Amino acid sequence: MKLFIYLLFILFILSGCVSSGNQTLKTESEASITTKIVENVTTQAEIKAMFGSPYETKFTDGGLEIYTYRLDDLKSDAINYVPFVNLFATSYSGTRKELVVLFNENGTVKRFSMSESDVQTRSGLVN
């Protein structure tokens, strides 16, 4: 019985919060980003200085560069705390913040977009 309680305690500790991605976005919002980024003024080097390396880099057909920054901030769902069920299924819910920046040919910001949405991830044999 003591082993069972000990294992449950370990599972509770391990299944708390999960945060992955660019931690600089944690305190950012659409409003705060608009005060930091100015179209046709803010440079690619300034974006990297503020937010670091992007999560993803793409290019348009015309050769313009696009940086994507992402942060998933998740909390453990209730199902993770149900004994034995959590061995077959886990679930996390929270928010995703994503910043997308399109650069001009001269290396300044052409356009940008900041969004925040609800996300849920599930894994395990049941999901």
Per-residue pLDDT of the chain (127 residues; tens, 9 = 90+): 666 565 555 555 555 666 777 888 989 999 999 999 999 999 999 999 999 999 999 999 999 999 999 998 877 766 656 666 656 777 777 888 999 999 999 999 999 999 998 877 766 665 5
Cβ neighbours of residue 124 closer than 8 Å, sequence gap 6 or more: 87, 88, 89, 90
Number of CB atoms found within 10 A of residue 15's CB: 18
Give the global pTM.
Answer: 0.73
User: What is the reported pLDDT for 23?
Assistant: 86
Q: Is 74 left (phi over 0), alpha (psi -120 to 50) or beta?
A: beta
Alpha helices in 1-127, H assignment, sequence order: 2-14, 30-36, 44-51
